[in-house]
């Protein structure tokens, strides 16, 4: 059974905002006490937060669909709906959040670091909040916005100071077990280590972490063996340690060729791994042939510029010198690393002349409006209520949408779409002459929508002609 997962695809959905309430206060001898509809509650967010007690993404491998709760609708008596609860998902330290295209959205390192993966929808305003001097008792309320729904990919990159790399059965797990309190599985067959193991080492006043990465083989950077799955865990490490087996039983292997193979795989994988400080550990010198081979290859490795340590995890020899050498490299790296600064809140206000929307004319003559405010207002409008639609028209007019449509060449009756192609609201544009609030009849009605809609009629006529031509073609019988 799988007990370690370091890459998952997560489907998250934030909560929807609650609808606003359209209500009029009523009590004895006060049949029209004014609007008292409350606002809808905000939908809950989906938040990814680093938790040091979590070490794997296994939970999201089994349950990849996560949804926050919705906001509650508003009620009469100026009672606002309850906000949806945020869904906080604990992830391991070192989790990278990506979109489906592989773009990095967030790099979560450090206890408590968080990222909002899906934003909850806003709650709709009730008619009490929509009342004004000219619209004293609105017969409508705004709808709650739907929450974000998106697919993200979570990748775990182990956060450690030192990474032990080498062939399977080179003794990496044995080495980390005697240098720290980690207790990885140890056996004499290849690919014993199936998951990265972390151990904490203390050398003098320096405390650092060591990661035992599953064994690499030729072609690991292209997906052969287990290498590609776990090379990402080496990316964050500041020091690399080549653990070379001096007592291998395979006739076609030796420590120098093993080192060359692993170095080539690190170079192909990229990420700057070939630039990291590194040491070479000649392991298993407790075996007589192993000690002889270590003494033979050590001058060659030192000639290449490597610091070489002869150790035995079984006899526990050479470990003190190795641990202090690693502590020196780690301390040097930490000293060069820039100090972490407090997170700054950056405010980027929009330009004064930025209208916040665009109007474009498409090939078929349709005018398309794109912008955060117009699209949000459309999502919040109840199109079954004429007064709500009239309120939307007034808001768009005040924003300047009508003026931009005129500049773009739109005429009365032309089709206008607000929103993206796959989810837009299309209507026939009629320029506003007076404010809609001054033309209202009964509550919930707007007489502007009683006028004929020529563009809609033209579209229906064209569709009828196409249907008629298609039917004639189907009824055609060849001689």
Tokens standing for 128?
């009490």
How wide is the angle at C-alpha 41 spanned by C-alphas 39 and 45, nearest 5°? 150
Q: Is 327 helix (H, G, I), strand (E, B) or coil?
A: helix
CA atoms within 13 A on the CB side of 400: 11
Q: Of the candidates 306, 196, 193, which has an alpha carbon nearest to the alpha carbon of residue 244? A: 306
Give the separation between CA 17 and CA 37, rounded to whole angstroms: 16
**Residue 343 has what pLDDT?**
56
Which residues partner with 104 through β-bridges? 98
Q: What is the pLDDT along the chain (479 residues), one digit of tens a residue?
A: 445 677 899 999 999 999 999 998 888 877 777 899 999 999 999 999 999 888 788 889 889 999 999 999 999 999 999 999 999 999 988 888 999 888 889 888 888 889 999 999 999 999 999 998 888 889 899 999 999 999 999 988 877 788 888 887 777 778 888 887 656 555 454 444 456 777 788 888 888 888 887 756 555 444 444 445 567 777 778 888 888 888 876 667 788 888 888 888 788 877 777 788 889 988 888 887 888 888 888 999 889 888 989 888 888 888 888 889 988 988 888 888 776 565 566 777 766 656 788 899 988 888 999 998 999 999 999 989 889 988 998 889 888 898 899 898 888 888 899 988 888 888 888 886 544 444 445 555 555 555 555 655 666 777 777 777 776 656 555 54
**Residue 276 has what pLDDT?**
83
Q: Of the candidates 70, 65, 82, which has an alpha carbon nearest to the alpha carbon of residue 120? A: 70
Q: What are phi and psi for residue 17, nearest 5 degrees?
A: -75, 150
Question: Under a CB-based contact definition with an 8 Å cutoff, are residues 179 and 172 in contact?
Answer: no
Sign of the C-alpha dihedral, residues 369, 375, 379, 383? negative
Sign of the C-alpha dihedral, residues 204, 208, 212, 216? negative
**Residue 195 has what pLDDT?**
63
Q: pTM above 0.85?
A: no
Give the separation between CA 19 and CA 190, rounded to whole angstroms: 60
The alpha-helical segments, DSSP class H, found in 231-272 are 255-269
CA atoms within 13 A on the CB side of 307: 14
Going by the DSSP 8-state scheme, the letter that residue 363 receives in this structure is T
Taking residue 227's Cβ as centre, other Cβ atoms within 10 Å add up to 24
Element (H, E) at 358: strand 357-361
**Residue 344 has what pLDDT?**
64
Question: Under a CB-based contact definition with an 8 Å cutoff, are residues 298 and 326 in contact?
Answer: no
Going by the DSSP 8-state scheme, the letter that residue 239 receives in this structure is E
**Residue 4 has what pLDDT?**
61
Please give the C-alpha separations between residue 384 and each of 36, 142, 380, 390, in angstroms, as whole numbers: 21, 12, 12, 11
Place of tokens 């906000």: 83
Tokens standing for 283?
């392991």
């Amino acid at each position: 059974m799988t007990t370690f997962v370091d890459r998952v695809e997560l489907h998250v959905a934030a909560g929807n905002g609650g609808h606003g309430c359209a209500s009029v206060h009523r009590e004895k001898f006060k049949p029209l006490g004014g609007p008292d509809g409350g606002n809808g509650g905000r939908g809950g967010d989906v938040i990814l937060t680093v938790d040091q007690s979590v070490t794997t993404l296994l939970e999201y491998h089994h349950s990849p669909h996560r949804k926050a709760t919705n906001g509650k609708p508003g009620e009469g008596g100026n009672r606002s709906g309850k906000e949806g609860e945020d869904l906080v998902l604990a992830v391991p330290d070192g989790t990278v959040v990506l979109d489906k295209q592989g773009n990095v959205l967030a790099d979560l390192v450090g206890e408590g670091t968080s990222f909002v993966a899906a934003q909850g929808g806003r709650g709709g305003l009730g008619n009490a909040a929509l009342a004004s001097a000219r619209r004293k008792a609105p017969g409508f309320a705004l709808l709650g916005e739907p929450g974000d729904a998106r697919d993200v990919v979570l990748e775990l990159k182990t956060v450690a100071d030192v990474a032990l790399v080498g062939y399977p059965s080179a003794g990496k797990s044995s080495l980390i077990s005697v240098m720290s309190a980690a207790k990885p599985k140890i056996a004499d067959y290849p690919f014993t280590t199936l998951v990265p193991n972390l151990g904490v080492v203390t050398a003098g006043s320096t405390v650092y972490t060591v990661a035992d990465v599953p064994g690499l083989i030729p072609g690991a950077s292209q997906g052969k063996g287990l290498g590609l799955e776990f090379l990402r865990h080496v990316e964050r490490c500041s020091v690399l340690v080549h653990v070379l087996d001096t007592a291998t039983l395979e006739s076609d292997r030796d420590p120098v060729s093993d080192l060359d193979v692993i170095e080539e795989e690190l170079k192909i994988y990229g990420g700057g791994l070939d630039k990291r400080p590194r040491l070479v550990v000649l392991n298993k010198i407790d075996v007589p042939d192993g000690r002889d081979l270590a003494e033979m290859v050590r001058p060659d490795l030192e000639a290449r510029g490597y610091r070489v340590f002869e150790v035995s995890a079984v006899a526990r020899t050479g470990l003190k010198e190795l641990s202090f050498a690693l502590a020196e490299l780690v301390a040097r790296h930490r000293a060069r690393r820039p100090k972490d600064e407090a997170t700054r809140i950056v405010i980027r206000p929009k330009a004064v002349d930025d209208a916040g929307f665009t109007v474009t004319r498409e090939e078929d003559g349709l005018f398309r409006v794109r912008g955060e405010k117009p699209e949000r207002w459309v999502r919040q409008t109840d199109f079954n209520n004429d007064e709500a639609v009239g309120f939307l028209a007034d808001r768009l007019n005040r924003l300047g949408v009508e003026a931009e449509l005129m500049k773009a060449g739109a005429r009365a009756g032309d089709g206008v779409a607000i929103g993206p192609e796959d989810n837009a609201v299309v209507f026939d544009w009629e320029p506003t002459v007076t404010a809609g609030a001054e033309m209202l009849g009964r509550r919930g009605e707007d007489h502007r929508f009683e006028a004929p809609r020529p563009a809609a009629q033209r579209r229906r006529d064209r569709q009828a002609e196409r249907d008629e031509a298609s039917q004639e073609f189907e009824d055609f019988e060849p001689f």
